[in-house]
Structure 1
Amino acid sequence: MNHNAPITPRPASLPLTGDDRLREALGYARHRGGCLPAQTPEAMITGLAALALHRFDSAPPPLALDRIDVLVPRTRRLRSTASVRVVRAQEPPVPVEIAGLPVAPVARALADAVAVVADPAVVRRLLTEAVRGGHCEPSTVVRELNRARLLSRPHVVDAVDALLAEGRSLAEERLYEMVRAFALPDPLWNVDLRLPGGPHLGGLDAYWPDQAVAVELDTRAPRQDDDALWSEYTRKREHLERLGITVVHLTPRKLREAMDQQATIVRTALMAASDRQPAAYVVVLPR
C-alpha cells in the first residue's frame, strides 16, 4: 500500500453513506503520519462507530455521529479533525473485520466510547448491552475501563456497578440452566454457611449438603483492590475445604462457553463424596 498516495475526493453528486464515512476516516489515518513497522495495525474504527458495527442497539449509526473515532498506534503523527477523532494506543489490539473494515474489539471500543460520552444513562445502556448481548464478560469490560483510567468518574463507577449486577444475574441463570439441562441433583440455592455457635463461613451460590459440595461463581471484576478480594476468596475456599467441603469455582465465561464441561466437574465432585471423609457439620442459612 502506498501510504503517501492522495485521498481521492468524493464527487459532490454522490450521497455519503455510513460505510463511506468510516472508510474516509480510516483513509485519513492510513495516509497521514508516515509508515509503520510491518505487522503493526495501522488504524481501526473504535468508539461508538465500532459499537454500531458490532450491532449495538444503543449506539447511533455512523452517519449520526459528529466524529468517527479511529484508533491508531501511539507513534502515529496525526491530529484530530472536525470529522475524525484520533485515539492513540500504546499497544493496539488485534482488530476484527466487519463489513470489510478493521474494527476494535468490543471492550476496547466500549472504553473509547465511554471516554467521550458524558450522559450517564447512555454509558449505562452501553455497558449493560455489552454483557446482556453476550459481546464480552464484565471482567473484560472493567479491565479496559481501568486501563483507560475511567473508573475515577462517578457516573462510570455507577454504570460498572449495574454492569456487575447484570453479569452476576446472567451467570446465576446459566448456573440454574446447567443444573436443569444436565439433570444434576437440586442444590440449596444462595445460602450462607456457619459453624454451630461459631463464625460465618461465607456465602455460596449452590450447596449440596448430603455430598458437602459447593459451587461459587467468580464474578469479580479487576479493580485496584482485586488482589485483596482474591485473597478473601482463597481464604474462604481453604477454610471450607479444611472442613471437608468441596468447593467448585465457576466463572461466567466457562458457564457460557463450556457448560457441559462445568456440569461434568460438578457431577464428578458429587459422585466422589462417598470416597471422602464426612465433612464437619455446618449450619445452612438462606442468604
Structure 2
Amino acid sequence: MIAKRCRPGGPWQRLLPGVVMLGNGPPSRRQQLRAAIAYGGPNSVITGADALRAHGVALPAGHAVQLLLPASRRIMPKDFVVVERSTRLPSPIVLDGIPFAPPARAAIDLARSMTDPVALRRVLALTALNGLCTQDELSQELEAGNQRGSAGVRPALRTFEATAAAAMHAEAHRVLAHAPLPPPRWNVTIYDRMGRAIGYADAWWDEVGLAWQLDQLGPDRPRATHAHHALIAAGALVVRTPAEVVRRAADHGRERVPIIRELASAFQAATRRPRPNIEGRCLSIAQAA
C-alpha cells in the first residue's frame, strides 16, 4: 500500500529510505529536517547551517542537511542529507521538537565542510556576533573534534577578531545608509591633546567629535582597556549600541529608527558645543587590537 501511494503522481512521497511524507508537494525545510532525524534514528543531531539558523544566525538556505550520528551507526548519505559519524555527539538543544547541535559545534561542523575562506570566516564571525559562543569556545571545539577539514578553519580563527569586526561594520554601514548623517570614519583610535590613546570608535565623526561604539566585538579591542568614560571626560560624545541590536536593525527597517534617531540627536548636540581637542586616527583592526 505504501509503495503504491508513493508512486509518481501518488498522494505520498518517499523523502528518504524508510521515511514517507503524507503529501506530494515539495517538502518544507522543517519537514526535511524531521525526515533526516527519522532517517538517522535515535541520538542523531542536526548540525551545521540548519542548526545555526535555528539558533538565530542569518545564513542563506541551500546547504545540505548535516546530520551527526553515533559512530556505530551505518547509514549512507542520501539525497539532501550528509551524514557524519562521531564518537563525541553533543548534547542536543531541542527546538520545536528537533535536536540541534550547540552553536559552537554547529559552526565548526559547517566551517569544516566549506571551501570558500570568506564564507567560512563569516560563519564563525556571525556565530560570535549573535552572542552564541566565544572565539575560545570555537577553538576548543575545533581541537576536540574531527580534524578533517580543519586546515582552513585554523587561519580563520586566527583572524577572527578582524573578521568579526568587519562583519559588524558591514551591518552598521547598512544602518547608516538610511541616516541623515555625513559618512563617518571607521576603526578609529582616539587620542587626547597629549597624544595618549583614550578610546576607540567603531565609527567616528571627526568634525564634531562623535563616537559610535558597537558592543561587544571582543574582549581585546582597545575600548575594553580604554573605557568610554575617558572619551566622555575628554569632551567626546559617545553613542553605544549592542552589536546584536545593530545586526537586527540592518535587516529590519523599523529597528533602525531608534538607532538613527539616537545618532542624529547626538550629532546635532555635538554641533552645538565646541569641538573637543582630541584626534582620531584610523587603524586596521589588526593594529587596533
Number of matched residues? 237
CA distance in 2, matches of 1:197, 1:205: 22
CA distance in 2, matches of 1:173, 1:144: 20
Provide TM-score, normalisation by structure 1.
0.59
| Identity %, equivalent residues | 18
CA distance in 2, matches of 1:172, 1:26: 41
Q: Does 1:104 align with 2:100?
A: yes
- Correspondences of 1:1-287 after superposition (within 5 Å): 17-18=15-16, 20=19, 23=35, 25-26=37-38, 29-30=41-42, 44-47=45-48, 57=62, 59=63, 61=64, 68-70=67-69, 80-83=72-75, 85=85, 88-90=89-91, 92-96=92-96, 102=98, 104=100, 107=103, 110-111=106-107, 113=109, 117=112, 122=115, 124=117, 127-128=120-121, 130=123, 136=127, 138=129, 140=131, 142-143=133-134, 146=137, 149-150=140-141, 152=143, 156-162=153-159, 164-218=161-215, 220-221=217-218, 226=219, 229=220, 232-233=223-224, 235-257=226-248, 258-273=255-270, 278=274, 280-287=276-283
**Partner of 2:134: helix, strand, or coil?**
helix
Per the TM alignment, residue 146 of structure 1 is displaced from its structure 2 partner at its CA by: 0.3
Per the TM alignment, residue 214 of structure 1 is displaced from its structure 2 partner at its CA by: 0.6
CA distance in 2, matches of 1:49, 1:270: 41
CA distance in 1, matches of 2:53, 2:279: 51
CA distance in 1, matches of 2:169, 2:103: 22
What is the one-letter code of the residue matched to 2:47? T
**Partner of 1:150: helix, strand, or coil?**
helix
CA distance in 2, matches of 1:144, 1:173: 20
Tell me how large the CA RMSD over aligned residues is: 4.6
Label 1:219 to 1:158 Cα distance change in 2 as closer, same or farther (>3 A): farther
What is the one-letter code of the residue matched to 2:123? A
Asked whether the equivalents of residues 138 and 167 of structure 1 are also in contact (C-alpha less than 8 Å), the reply is yes
CA distance in 2, matches of 1:178, 1:24: 38
CA distance in 1, matches of 2:128, 2:176: 21
CA distance in 2, matches of 1:52, 1:219: 21
CA distance in 1, matches of 2:270, 2:217: 28
Asked whether the equivalents of residues 212 and 273 of structure 1 are also in contact (C-alpha less than 8 Å), the reply is yes
Label 1:108 to 1:195 Cα distance change in 2 as closer, same or farther (>3 A): closer
Label 1:89 to 1:243 Cα distance change in 2 as closer, same or farther (>3 A): same
Per the TM alignment, residue 186 of structure 1 is displaced from its structure 2 partner at its CA by: 3.6
Label 1:218 to 1:154 Cα distance change in 2 as closer, same or farther (>3 A): farther
Q: Please list every run of 5 or more consecutive structure 2 residues that lacks an aligned counterpart in the other structure.
A: 8-12, 20-31, 76-82, 144-149, 249-254, 284-289
What is the one-letter code of the residue matched to 1:156? V
Provide TM-score, normalisation by structure 2.
0.59
Per the TM alignment, residue 212 of structure 1 is displaced from its structure 2 partner at its CA by: 2.5
Per the TM alignment, residue 195 of structure 1 is displaced from its structure 2 partner at its CA by: 2.5
Label 1:131 to 1:151 Cα distance change in 2 as closer, same or farther (>3 A): closer
Label 1:148 to 1:93 Cα distance change in 2 as closer, same or farther (>3 A): farther
Label 1:17 to 1:161 Cα distance change in 2 as closer, same or farther (>3 A): farther
What is the one-letter code of the residue matched to 1:194? Y
Q: Please list every run of 5 or more consecutive structure 1 residues that lacks an aligned counterpart in the other structure.
A: 1-9, 31-41, 71-77
Asked whether the equivalents of residues 123 and 159 of structure 1 are also in contact (C-alpha less than 8 Å), the reply is no
